[in-house]
Amino acid sequence: MTTAYVNGHFLPMESAMVHIEDRGFQFADGVYEVVACFNGHFLDMGPHLERLEQSCAAINIPLPCTLERLAELVQETWRRNPFQDAMVYIQVTRGAAPRAHLAPDNLVPTLVITSADLPKPSESKLAKGAKAITLADFRWKHCEIKSIALLASVMGKQEANRRQADEAFWLDGEGHVLEGCSTNIFAVINGTLVTHPLDHQVLGGITRKMLIRVAHDAGIEVQERPWKLDEPGLTETMLTSTTNAALPVCFMDDKPVGNGVPGPMTRKLRGLMIDAMDALRAS
């Protein structure tokens, strides 16, 4: 049985509840984070909590406690659950109140933290690479906020699944690749690692940042600029997220990317990221 943290209490998952008038339930009026934990050591806890603070600030929800206290609660939630490698989910909503678009002042935010087994890509997915489709972006214009309003992402994943793919890549009106439903996207173009710059159309992924850091350290040039899938010299694409690290994407809309197999740059960068995670686990 797993244990969840809800508003000051650790409870068995079955009895962990929030109010039916919680604004997260009624308006998706909240934000979240997913942090990976390796044997009790959290990967980039600081940046995740800072991003949560920024998401809360962007929609005017006061942080339910200090970031130091939040880090303790996240650690404690991991400790009370049986998963060595875990993904810890943190959700903050504006709180519970009779349904009205404008919330009353001084509402107490809802804080929920859960821990689950860290999903990892299967060996066959790593060997063959993932498949993606492309969709015209129909999300809202504040994708930099890690909002719990994920309906467009759910619809994108449903369409990807219907077409036997793993992820949908959002394209802007000119065909630039923005990001995936729950991932950031990189391409290798003429040996350079390329990804869309940070703006309101993409989430500033913590894994995106890690990949850029790892690439710089390995002497690989990185460009943050708009790019398209049909650019000459494009040989690889990969996605990044907390639960995937860097994962090769080898088919796009049923057509092979490059040779249709995981390319050398993706394999090298993924290897370096996995090494860093293994070192964290052993620390």
205 forms part of the interface with ligand PDD (CB under 6 A): yes
237 forms part of the interface with ligand PDD (CB under 6 A): no
31 forms part of the interface with ligand PDD (CB under 6 A): no
Q: Which is nearer to ligand PDD, 81 or 201 (CB)?
A: 201
H or E, element range at 117 = strand 110-117
The residue annotated as part of the active site, out of 125, 146, 157, 255, is 146
Strand 85-93, strand 255-256: pairing: unpaired
Q: How far is the CB of 243 from ligand PDD (least distance, A)?
A: 6
- For ligand PDD (CB under 6 A), the number of binding residues is 14
Would you say 195 and 185 are in contact if contact means Cβ atoms under 8 Å apart?
yes
54 forms part of the interface with ligand PDD (CB under 6 A): no
Determine whether 141 is an active site residue: no
114 forms part of the interface with ligand PDD (CB under 6 A): no
203 forms part of the interface with ligand PDD (CB under 6 A): yes
227 three-state secondary structure: coil
Q: Which is nearer to ligand PDD, 21 or 275 (CB)?
A: 275
Would you say 138 and 19 are in contact if contact means Cβ atoms under 8 Å apart?
no
Q: How far is the CB of 199 from ligand PDD (least distance, A)?
A: 13
Task: Give the footprint of ligand PDD on residues 163-192 (CB under 6 A).
Answer: 179, 182-184
Comparing CA positions, the residue from 6, 193, 34 lying closest to residue 109 is 6
3 forms part of the interface with ligand PDD (CB under 6 A): no
Q: Is 200 exposed, middle or buried (0-12, 13-18, 19+ CB in 10 A)?
A: exposed
243 forms part of the interface with ligand PDD (CB under 6 A): yes
Comparing CA positions, the residue from 28, 243, 241 lying closest to residue 116 is 243
195 forms part of the interface with ligand PDD (CB under 6 A): no
Would you say 238 and 268 are in contact if contact means Cβ atoms under 8 Å apart?
no
CA distances from 59 to 39, 107, 160 (A): 33, 14, 30
Piece of the chain touching ligand PDD by CB under 6 A; list 67-75, 95-103, 239-247, 259-267: 239-247
Strand 167-171, strand 177-180: pairing: antiparallel
The residues annotated with a catalytic role in the active site are 146
Binding site for ligand PDD (CB under 6 A): 34, 179, 182-184, 203, 205-208, 240-243
